A and B are shown apart, each in its own frame.
Chain A
Amino acid sequence: MDYVIEMLGIRKEFNGFVANDDITLQLAKGEIHALLGENGAGKSTLMNVLFGLYQPEAGRIRVNGQDVQITDPNKANNLGIGMVHQHFMLVDTFTVTENIVLGNEPKKFGTVNMKEAEQKVRELSGQYGLSVDPTAKIADISVGMQQRVEILKTLYRGAEILIFDEPTAVLTPQEIKELIQIMRALIKEGKSIILITHKLKEIMEVCDRVTVIRKGKGIGTVDVSNTNPNHLASLMVGRDVTFTTEKADATPAHNVLEVRDLSVNDSRGVQAVRHLNLDVRAGEIVGICGVDGNGQTELIEAITGLRKTSGGSISLNGKDITGLKPRKVTEAGVAHIPQDRHKHGLVLDYPIGTNIVLQTYYQKPFSKAGIMNYKEVYKKASTLIKEFDVRTPSETTLARALSGGNQQKAIIGREVDRNPDLLIAAQPTRGLDVGAIEFIHRRLIEQRDSGKAVLLLSFELDEIINVSDRIAVIYEGNIVAVVDPKTTTEQELGLLMAGSKKGADEHV
């Protein structure tokens, strides 16, 4: 086989920590090659080595059969390697073309020849079916379009090999479909692609071969046609993994949460939630699904008391909790796994042990007459750490030092332990690997089975369909449909999320 890129026996260390240990990745011409691994397995390190950001301690890199030293990203560019970053590197106030030529401007008498650049961008866009408007401002185009601009940026610089870093994380299902088409078009034009991901479905759908790394070690390369998602998952995690979360049918009882005609403004004062109605009953999980920015965040902030409402009411077990302060909402029986665990969920510079009492520190036995009883705090913490399998050297370790999955387990332990009537889980598995996801899903279902009401917000359709008992689709601040996860499809959800109404509007 002809390899365009060969990374042979790559080893990269950081202060004694081995991030890549003897990893080999060979990219054939014209293939889509997946690089699969858990968070922290060393995928990004390996790609940064290829892109010239890190120098490997051992191993060789060959491009088109020639040994090369990639000392900086410019060198990588010259060798035809382009990277489509997960977090876009675009200037919002510039046009598409201005962004694409940035740092590589066609010059004419000392000025930038924008006309020529626009023409070239238009040609490239047409060639690969990207349909990007070269004169649009970045701020005005969708996330999916912005990603295409990133792709164009690499093509404009003559990339033959494209690295996609978790490209689907920010996209809607429809956009993912379009991206896959684009990737196929790129292959047809003779490009080769490395796709960094931990989503197995995408690998099965679009990739030719997959290289798996686990804890910094290369596990091997397999043909996608000879494998299945379960096999890949066990290669990635190192043990068997179940995907479909086992659960009995829900037996919903009385309404725990009732949201009526709720309106909420976002930080800019624009109405983000518009006359929304929603019920969550005891013993069921309601999944909220929608494209980011359709009022989900504001809805949850309103329920938990973090944001003022501008109309309507929220009640918990028949008691009005509209406009209550967060502490009162918590005391009323609401627990909240926040979307951003670093910003809201934890005080990162506090030990993980004291984070466990973040909402209850003022209550007995943790506090008596204004004096903290840290012995009790750490006792509680060590129980929860054991129960929720939080891997930490000790309960006095700073929360900052824990991995994302263990931080999240600690938060879930804390929230569940308060024995709430309503558990709100906002993107509880964001950025976590399959093992942790499995654990968290099990815990959510456990809560449901013990008669709690669970409100789940997620941008992962798989998660929503797998875990929820009912799915409420949110679009432009309103619940536009409630569907049964057993009968719905990702296509249907995708259409609903994009705002196309079903014939008969089934309202909550």
Chain B
Amino acid sequence: MFKNWTVLAVPVISVLLGLLAGALIMLVSGNNPTAGYMALWNGAFGDSFYTGETLRQMTPYVFAGLAVAFAFRTGLFNIGVEGQLLVGWLASVWVGLAFELPKIIHLPLAILAGAAAGAAWGFIPGFLKARLRVHEVIVTIMMNYTALHITNHFIRDVISDGADATDPVRETASLQSAFLQSITDFSSLHNGIYLAVIAAIIMWFMLEKTTLGYELRAVGYNQHASEYAGMNVNRNIVLSMVISGAFAGIGGAMQGLGTFGNMFINSGFSGIGFDGIAVALLGGNTAIGVVLAALLFGALKVGSLNMPIESGVPNELVEIVIALIIFFVASSYMITWLLGRLKKKEAK
């Protein structure tokens, strides 16, 4: 019982400490923290438009977080979510442009194309690790850059003729929802949010309920025992990276088919893949945790845009708060130690 409680306590306390530290920084820099955080709240949940924007921002974070968490639970560090997301984005947009199909086929096909591209991008580091013991962190980091430049090349020279962005995807491949827009005062919220929730349920089910999940987690915890027990460790490494990459790839499809409706030349990384690492960490690498952490990140990112307008606090402050939250989660040992001390004092 106590253990479950601390599992929840660490992220919650980390968030509170991060916000507290942010307030101190605002005070020191001559701003009003109450006004700053009010503006943040209003900018994230103040009215239905902002809530819609927050949920829209949350969608790719859920996928990126699930991708990192899935790999992590099976003993792998997938730092390549950013790249897998980019190739998934491109593949979904391409399919969304290239085919003329009824929506019931076209949309799933475009999403699957995103998943497949992300999976392929995850397969390479998985294969290299399984076969040649090349560390996945190195390979996935490098593959982020290849993804960035390859997708840019495809957008400029293959899909379009020297343009900076692709055409919008066909209506039959679009995730946009008139209904969701109408109830959120015409925010950019799209159907992807449903998929994000479904994906979280799938990840939970896959890890906790399936035979594959039993095996993947066993390999993640102890490769030697898994090998002794007759599991195919190398196959599981590859499979885990492929599934992780597929989550990331669908995250990219959310951008391509939902948020933006196209893909454009990226001069740098979108950052969503890297934020996914933070989301997974904050969410304790569990499905429900990832959803909650993604919601928080979405709210912080969207809400921060309102801070300079309403309170004059620069929105970079939110980046500091996010960094501090991550810092506190990463130093969770400190928090559990403090909790232990408090508990002891109470007992006395």
Q: Which residues of A contact B (CB under 8 A)?
A: 304, 306, 325-331, 336, 338, 343-350, 354, 358-359, 361-362, 367, 370-372
Instruction: Decide if B218 touches A358 in the complex (CB within 8 Å).
Output: yes
B211 and A370 contacting across the interface, CB-CB below 8 Å: yes
- Segment among B5-13, B226-234, B325-333 that sits at the interface with chain A: B226-234
Question: B221, A350: Cβ atoms under 8 Å?
Answer: yes
Set of chain B residues within 8 Å of A346, measured between Cβ atoms: 222, 225
B345 at the interface (CB under 8 A from A): no
Chain A residue, CB-CB nearest to B229: A358
Quick check: B230 and A345 within 8 Å, CB to CB? no
Question: Do the beta carbons of B225 and A370 come within 8 Å of each other?
Answer: no
B230 x A327 contact (CB < 8 A): yes
Least Cβ–Cβ distance between A199 and chain B, in angstroms: 30
Q: How far is A331 from B230 in the complex, measured between Cα atoms in Å? A: 10
- A-B pair number, CB within 8 angstroms: 64
A349 touches B211 (CB 8 A): no
Contact with A along B110-140 (1 / 0, CB 8 A): 0000000000000000000000000000000
- A363 closest partner in B (C-beta): B211
Q: Can you report 25 residue pairs joining A to B where beta carbons are below 8 Å apart?
A: A306-B227, A306-B228, A326-B229, A326-B230, A327-B230, A336-B228, A343-B224, A345-B225, A346-B225, A347-B222, A347-B226, A348-B221, A348-B222, A349-B221, A349-B222, A350-B218, A354-B214, A358-B218, A361-B211, A361-B214, A362-B215, A367-B211, A370-B212, A372-B210, A372-B213
* Least CB separation from B228: chain A residue: A344
Nearest B residue to A331, CB-CB: B230
Determine if B230 and A325 form an interchain contact, defined as CB atoms under 8 angstroms apart.
yes
Within the assembled complex, what's the spacing in Å between the Cα atoms of A286 and B230? 25
| A372 lies within 8 A of B230 (CB) | no
In the bound complex, do residue B224 and residue A344 qualify as a contact, i.e. CB atoms below 8 Å apart?
yes
Mask for B267-300, Cβ within 8 A of A = 1, else 0? Answer: 0000000000000000000000000000000000
- Top-10 shortest CB links A-B: A327-B230, A358-B229, A344-B228, A367-B211, A326-B230, A349-B221, A347-B222, A359-B229, A343-B224, A347-B221
Contacts of B227 in A (CB 8 A): 306, 326
B residues near A338, Cβ cutoff 8 Å: 228
Report A-chain residues with C-beta under 8 Å of the C-beta of B231.
Answer: 327
Q: How far is the CB of B251 from chain A (nearest CB, A)?
A: 25
Residues of B close to A349: CB separation below 8 A:
221-222
Across the interface, which residues of B come within 8 angstroms of A325, CB to CB?
230, 232
Report the minimal beta-carbon distance from B121 to chain A, rounded to whole angstroms. 26
Within 8 A of A (CB), among B197-247: 209-215, 217-218, 221-222, 224-232
Q: How far is the CA of A336 from the CA of B212 in the complex (A)?
A: 23
Whether A371 contacts B230 in the complex (CB less than 8 A), given A344-B224, A344-B225, A350-B221, comes out as no
Q: Distance in Å from the Cβ of A125 to the closest Cβ of chain B?
A: 40
Bound complex: CA A19 to CA B212 (Å): 42
Is the Cβ of A372 less than 8 Å from the Cβ of B214? yes
| Set of chain B residues within 8 Å of A372, measured between Cβ atoms | 209-211, 213-214
A416 to B5, alpha carbons, bound, how many Å?
Answer: 38
Kindly name the residue among B217, B230, B232 whose own CB sees the greatest number of chain A CB atoms within 10 A: B230
| Residues from chain B with Cβ under 8 Å of A304 in the complex | 228
Q: How far is the CA of A344 from the CA of B210 in the complex (A)?
A: 23
Residues of B within 8 A of A329 (CB): 230
CA A359 – CA B226 in complex, angstroms? Answer: 9
Q: Which residue of A lies closest to B212 (CB)?
A: A370
Residues of A within 8 A of B214 (CB): 354, 361, 367, 372
Contacting residues, chain A, for B230 (C-beta < 8 A): 325-331, 359
Is A347 in contact with B211, judged by CB distance below 8 angstroms? Answer: no
| Residues 165-213 of B contacting A (Cβ, < 8 Å) | 209-213
Give the residue name and chain of the B residue nearest to A325 (CB): B230
Residues on B with C-beta less than 8 A from A370 are: 210-212
Residue of B nearest to A301 (CB): B228
Contacts of B222 in A (CB 8 A): 343, 346-349
Contacts of B212 in A (CB 8 A): 370
The distance in angstroms between the C-alpha atoms of A372 and B218, with both chains bound, is 14
Q: Are B210 and A345 in touch, CB under 8 angstroms?
A: no
Give the chain A neighbours of B215 by CB distance below 8 A: 361-362
In the bound complex, do residue B209 and residue A358 qualify as a contact, i.e. CB atoms below 8 Å apart?
A: no
Distance in angstroms from A434 CB to nearest chain B CB is: 28
A326-B221 contact given A367-B211, A372-B213, CB 8 Å threshold: no
